[in-house]
Structure 1
Amino acid sequence: MGGFIAIKQNELFGDYRLREKICSGGLATIWLATDKAGRNYALRLLNNNFSITSSGPKMFRRGCEVMAKIKPHPNVIRYIKHGRKSGRSYMLLDYVEGANLRTLMIQDSPLLHDSLSDLLVDMAGALAHVHGNSFMHLDFKPENLQISRGGTLMLCDFDTALPIPDKPAKLPRKSGTPLYMPPEIAKGWEVDQRADIYSFAVTAYELVTRIKPFEGQSPQEVLRNQLNPKYLIRRPRDLNPNVPVVLDSLLMKCLSFLPDQRYPFMAHVLRDLHKALGVR
C-alpha cells in the first residue's frame, strides 16, 4: 500500500481540489472536486483496500473504458477522462447536483409525480443509447439513476457493463443487484441485452407503483418469488389505476421470466413508451 497517497478533504489530487466526499462504496469513493477555474466535477477514486487477487480494480478500470467508448447522451452521466495518478485510479465525470431515484422515491419527491412520464422515457432512452453503443449495463436500478435539481435523469455506474454478445452467452461472473437481476443471470444461464430490459422494467414498475413486482414477507421470500416462473406479478394498474393500459402491458412484457418473451431491443421499448405516454 506504500505507493498510495492519502486522500483528504481540501487537498489537491492532480489538478483538482477535493471539496467534499459525496459518497463511498465498496469499489470507489466519489468526491466533489473543483479545477483551477472553480468548475465542479465528480471525481471517482478507486478505493485502496483491495487484495492482490481482488477483481475490484479491474472492474473499475473496465467501467472507465466502457464510459470512454459510449458517445455522449443527455441521459448518461458525462464522462470526461480517466487515468492513474499517485498510485490511484480515477475517473472524472460531470457533477450533477441532485439525488438518485431511490432517494427521491423514499422522500416521495413531487418531482416524481410532476415528471413521471419524462423520467420513464429518459430511463429507457439512456439504456437504448448504451445498447446502441454495443454495451449492456447489467446493474440498472434506482441507485444508479441520478436526477438533477432540474429533473434531468442520468444513468451512471458502468463498472459491471459488458459488450453485447453476438448471441446469448454466460457471464464471466454474476453481475447486478439481486432484486433487479433477471432470472437468467441469477440462474447462470446465457445472457444478452434483454437482461437490462428486465431490470429497467423492475425499476419502472417500482417507480409507478412504489412497490417491487415481487412481493414477500422477507427478502428471501421475495427472491424465491422472483425466481419462480409460475409466480403471478400483480399488474401495475391493479396498484395504480392511473397507469395507462399500454404502459401496463409494456412493463408486464418486459418482466417476462424468459428473455424470449420480452422485447428483443430497448429501442422497441422506447418506441412503445413514446406511444403509451404521448411523450416525444
Structure 2
Amino acid sequence: MDFLKKLFQSKPRVQKVDIGRRFELYGRVGQGSMSKVWKARDSKLGKIVALKVLDIDKTNRLEARFKGLKKPTEGEIAITLKHPHIVKTFEHGVTTKNEAYLVMEFVEGVALSFLISAQNDVMKKHCLRMTIELGEAINYFHRQNWIHRDICPRNILLDENHRIKLIDFGLVVPNTPHFQAPGNRTGTANYMAPELIRRQRTDQRIDIFSYAVTCFEMFAGQLPWESGQTLESILSHLNSPPADLKTYCPDLDDRIVQAVMKGLALQTNDRWQRISEMIEVLRSVHQEQSAKDPANS
C-alpha cells in the first residue's frame, strides 16, 4: 500500500498555471461529463498535447461523495500510469482559475465508439487484437490496485496505428474496503455492472463486466441488452440474461464467445475473478489465428 501512502501524504503548495499564456489552443477534441479537452501546443514542453481542464463544480460534487477518505485526484492517479495502452499524462496541476488540469499525450486517431458504429474493415480485421490490448490496459490498472469504474468505448481511443489507448480516470478509486463500500453509483449506465446499479458493494469485477460489455459490442456492433435511457430501465434488463454473442457472430471462435459471456455474468462469483484470466483465453485464440494468417494479427 506504499503507493496510497505517498498519494495521501501532505503535498507542497502548488504554483498555479495560466493556461491562456502557456498553451496555444487549436480546438476542442472532446468533452466528458466533468471536463473539456483541447488539442494544444504546450510552450513549456514544446509539443502538441491534449489539455484537459476539469469542471470545478462537478469535480467538487464527485469528491464530496468520498468526504473523509482522502480520495486521490484524477491528476495524481493519471501521472503514475505507465503502460503502452494507457494515455500518458505528463503533468497535472491547478489553473489560475482554480480548475484542475492535466497535460496528456495527444492521440491522433478516433474513438473506439466510432469504429464500433462503423464496423468497417479495420474493426473486423483487428477486433480481437484490440480487445486484448484493452484488457491488458485494465489488467495493468488493476495490478496498480485501482478500480476504473467507467470502462466504455467513449473512454477508449485508437491511435493512427489502430492501437488502443485507455483514457479518462475521473471516476477512479483505490481498490480498498472504504472505496468498495455500497452506495456510490457512477459510470456509464449501459456498461455498469448489476452490483453497481443496485448500490451493492463493488470491487474490480465491475471493470471486468464493463470490459465484457465493450468486447461484446466490438464484435457484435451492439450491446448485449437493449440500450436503456435510465438506470431503472437498465436494471430491469440486467434481471434477464444477456443476448448470446454467438447469435450475432456465428463464425466467432467458441472460446471467445464463452470468455465474453462469462464476463457478462450477472452474479460476481460467476464472472471472471481476474481480468488476466479472460485475457489469457483471448490471447490464446489470437496466437492461433495469427499463426494461420499473420496479416490479421
- TM norm structure 2: 0.81
Partner of 1:94: 105
Aligned ranges 1:1-280 → 2 under 5 Å: 13-36=20-43, 39-48=47-56, 50=57, 54-55=61-62, 62-70=73-81, 72-87=82-97, 88-165=99-176, 169-171=180-182, 173-215=184-226, 219=229, 223-228=234-239, 231-278=240-287
> 1:215 touches 1:222 (CA, 8 Å); kept in 2?
no
| CA shift for structure 1 position 276 | 2.7
The verdict on how the C-alpha distance between 1:165 and 1:38 changes in structure 2, with shifts beyond 3 A counting, is closer
Give the counterpart letter for 1:28 in structure 2.
Answer: S
Cα-to-partner distance string for 1:222-273 (whole Å, 9 max, x where unaligned): 6144330xx2322211111121100111111111111111111111112121
CA drift at 1:219:
3.9
* C-alpha deviation, 1:34, in angstroms: 0.8
Kindly provide the amino acid, as one letter, of the partner of residue 278 in structure 2: V
**Is the Cα–Cα contact under 8 Å of residues 111 and 156 in structure 2 kept in the other structure?**
yes
Residue 43 of structure 1 aligns with an amino acid whose one-letter code is L
Q: Is the 8 A contact 1:32 1:40 kept in 2?
A: yes
Supply the AA of the counterpart residue of 1:74.
P
The CA deviation at 1:104 is: 1.9
Please tell me the residue identity of whatever aligns with 1:126. Answer: A
Question: What is the CA distance between 1:118 and its match in structure 2?
Answer: 1.1
The whole-number CA distance in structure 2 between the counterparts of 1:226 and 1:64 is: 35
* CA drift at 1:115: 1.1
Give the alignment's Cα RMSD to 1 decimal.
Answer: 2.7
Q: Which amino acid aligns with 2:22?
A: D
1: distance between equivalents of 2:182 and 2:169? 15
- Cα separation, 1, equivalents of 2:74 and 2:207: 16
Amino acid at match of 2:48: N
For residues 91 and 182 of structure 2, the distance between their equivalents in structure 1, rounded to whole angstroms, comes to: 27
Structure 1 vs Structure 2: percent identity of aligned residues? 22
CA distance in 2, matches of 1:52, 1:199: 23
In structure 2, give the amino acid aligned to 1:83: G
Number of residues of Structure 1 aligned to a counterpart in Structure 2: 265
Q: List per-residue Cα deviations over 1:53-89 (Å, max 9, x = no partner).
A: 633699997221111233x111001111100121232
- TM normalised by structure 1 equals 0.85
Deviation at 1:127, TM superposition (A): 0.5
- Contact 2:212–2:260 (Cα < 8 Å) also in 1: yes
Provide the rounded CA distance (Å) in 1 between the counterparts of 2:20 and 2:182. 35
Which structure carries more helix by proportion? Answer: 2
SS at match of 2:37: strand
| Offset of residue 99 of structure 1 | 1.2
Partner Cα distance (2:249, 2:34) in 1 = 37
Runs (5+) with no aligned partner, structure 2: 1-17, 291-296
- Report SS of the residue matched to 1:131: helix
Partner secondary structure for residue 34 of structure 1: strand
Give the distance between the partners of 1:235 and 1:213, measured in 2 at CA.
7
Tell me the amino acid that sits aligned with residue 64 of structure 1: G
Q: Aligned in 2, Cα 1:127/1:51: closer, same or farther, shift over 3 Å? A: closer
Whole-Å separation in 1 of the counterparts to 2:54 and 2:139: 28
> What's 1:3 paired with?
none
Cα deviation, residue 275, structure 1: 1.4
Q: Which runs of 5+ in 1 are unaligned?
A: 1-10
Kindly indicate whether the alpha-carbon contact (under 8 Å) linking 1:214 and 1:225 is maintained by their aligned counterparts in 2. no
SS state at 2:133 partner: helix
